[in-house]
């Protein structure tokens, strides 16, 4: 009987260790899976979702993706929505992105820290076609920005 109890304890311990390992290496693979995470909820909108690694393994991947370091010294990986449709006016932008002050709605496509470089290039080009500004010469994050004002 002792053998069975010890065996179950060992199996339980291994299961817990395995689950911990899985959670420590989990990094979202796309926009939809990023939306299901609970890191940096404030960065979720119809355009993008940011993931902030919580473990050393995730942090290494973030650095490999040339993630953006925020003001809290955390590395962020940005996932873009492949189905994003660019807004044509302030009200539509507000619905998709939100606004910090109710007067301006800024849309940004940043190449640095993006998980999917092909998708971010497509959205970058589309941003330019919709009147966005190319800031790659002026900013280290290198992106396209589009501003709508009330």
Identify the residue with better confidence: 55 or 83: 83
Lowest mean pLDDT among 22-31, 69-78, 79-88: 22-31
- When pLDDT is averaged across residues 56-72 and rounded to a whole number, the result is 79
| pLDDT tens digits, 3-24 | 555 555 554 444 434 434 444 4
Query: Can you give the pLDDT at residue 65?
Result: 76
pLDDT at 102 over 80: no
Mean pLDDT, the chain, rounded, equals: 79
Identify the residue with better confidence: 93 or 137: 93
Beta strand 133-134 with 143-149 is antiparallel
Query: Can you give the pLDDT at residue 12?
Result: 47
| pLDDT tens digits, 38-59 | 665 556 789 999 888 888 888 8
pLDDT at 125 over 50: yes
The torsion of the CA quartet 92, 93, 99, 103, rounded to 10 degrees, works out to: -70
The domain limits of the chain are 2-149
Cα 109 off chain centre by? 12
Q: What is the pTM of this model?
A: 0.76
Confidence band of 92 (pLDDT split at 50, 70, 90): very high
| Tokens matching residue 138 | 């002026």
How large is the C-alpha radius of gyration of the chain? 20
Confidence band of 83 (pLDDT split at 50, 70, 90): very high
Confidence band of 141 (pLDDT split at 50, 70, 90): low
* Contact by Cβ (8 Å): 85, 111: no
* Contact by Cβ (8 Å): 103, 144: no
Identify the residue with better confidence: 53 or 118: 118
Separation between Cα atoms, residue 26 and residue 18, nearest integer Å: 12
């Amino acid at each position: 009987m002792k053998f069975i109890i010890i065996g179950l304890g060992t199996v339980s311990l291994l299961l817990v260790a395995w689950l911990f390992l899985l959670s420590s290496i989990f990094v979202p693979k796309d926009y939809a899976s990023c939306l299901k995470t609970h890191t940096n909820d404030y960065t979720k909108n119809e355009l993008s979702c940011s993931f902030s690694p919580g473990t050393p393994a995730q942090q290494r991947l973030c650095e490999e993706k040339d993630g953006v370091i925020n003001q809290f010294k955390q590395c962020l990986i940005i996932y873009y929505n492949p189905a994003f449709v660019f807004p044509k006016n302030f009200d539509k932008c507000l619905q998709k992105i939100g606004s910090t002050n109710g007067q301006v709605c800024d849309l940004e496509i940043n190449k640095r820290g993006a998980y999917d470089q092909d998708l971010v290039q497509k959205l970058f080009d589309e941003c330019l076609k919709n009147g966005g500004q190319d800031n790659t010469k002026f900013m280290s994050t290198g992106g396209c920005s589009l501003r709508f004002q009330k």
